[in-house]
Amino acid sequence: MNGTTISHYLNASQLAELPAFESVKFLPKAFEDSTNQLWQVSWLNAGKLEKGILKLCPLSNVSGSPFWQGMQRLFELRYPQEIEAYPEVYRLLESWSVLSIPKLHLAQSAGPEYASVLLTQKLEGDALISSQVNADMAADLGSHLGYLHQQSSRSYGPLFAAGLDAQGWGQRVHSVISELAQQQAVSLQPYEKQLDQFKRIDRASKEGFVPIMPDLRWDQFLSKAGRLYALVDLDAMVWGRRELELVLLEYLLEADWVEVFASSYRHHLELPDLSEVRTAYRLLLFLMGVLGEVSLEKWMAVPESFALLQTKNLRPVE
């Protein structure tokens, strides 16, 4: 295998489980702080050429990541030490999503001296960047999330093993926000009232937990013929509150697409009121480094798209 770079990350037993690759092409990181190293690979299987994506992640790549620190503290998801459990993640998403999910060929967890391994099918389709997103894709995202959010769990945590008590969600979110803010020397003083209110509101919530991706971005999807076609990055899929994912969408959806997304989503579920949880979830996402914004002032000032949509829908017809 043409893989001195690949073999650098793995031990002998891991290398032995990989196919004999016919070709190996390193894929540059999409973002400077990307967690994984990616290769496009191919190999022969019963005389047929298979194409795949090999994803490697050493423990050192996540040790200083605010995102993965937040994921471990909030959801008890230990990436990449728990990759061997991901066949269940791929199986569930294949059964739930309207989008294509790549076949998972191999999943091996990371250890102190070697990386985790995910080898998946390479699906046809175009890698998506935000400037290429259109209204049809916003509608497709609404349908995708609408289906996923119909799945329900009474507890939260990793998608493959939700076991955290619902009653602790609000307090745990608050604690993670406080810990990350202290680490990053971010003052929460202007938001103390909203954070205290969040804890009280969540304790009274009867909402369950649904499959969400706290790092949802357009580049985790493939497109084909101007539509969303596949979801190819499932690393951070967990059971959590759907409001957290919807708050993140206020940063991803252009103003003109919010109504399109909402219309598609509402074929499955009504949109929840985000007003009492938005501040807490925005703070959490900022402190976890989702989307890479470094100015808290700019982050918190982003328009509250779903609130504006509700106001528009409630406005009387003249």
Written as one string, the DSSP assignment of 9-71 is T--HHHHHHS--EEEEEEE--SSTT---EEEEEEEEETTEEEEEEEEEE-GGGTTT-HHHHHH
CA distance 162 to 245: 17
Q: Are 281 and 202 in contact (CB under 8 A)?
A: no
CA distance 225 to 122: 18
pLDDT band at 1 (very low <50, low <70, confident <90, very high): very low
Q: Are 186 and 177 in contact (CB under 8 A)?
A: no
Burial label, 139 (beta-carbon count in 10 A; 0-12, 13-18, 19+): buried
- For 149-172, what is each residue's pLDDT tens digit? 999 999 999 999 999 999 899 999
**Which one, of 164, 8, 10, 3, lies nearest residue 83 by Cα?**
10
How many residues appear in the chain?
318
pLDDT for the residue 311: 62
pLDDT for the residue 4: 47
Q: Are 79 and 201 in contact (CB under 8 A)?
A: no
8-state DSSP, 282: H
- For 174-201, what is each residue's pLDDT tens digit? 999 999 999 999 999 999 999 999 988 8
- For 86-103, what is each residue's pLDDT tens digit? 999 999 999 999 999 999
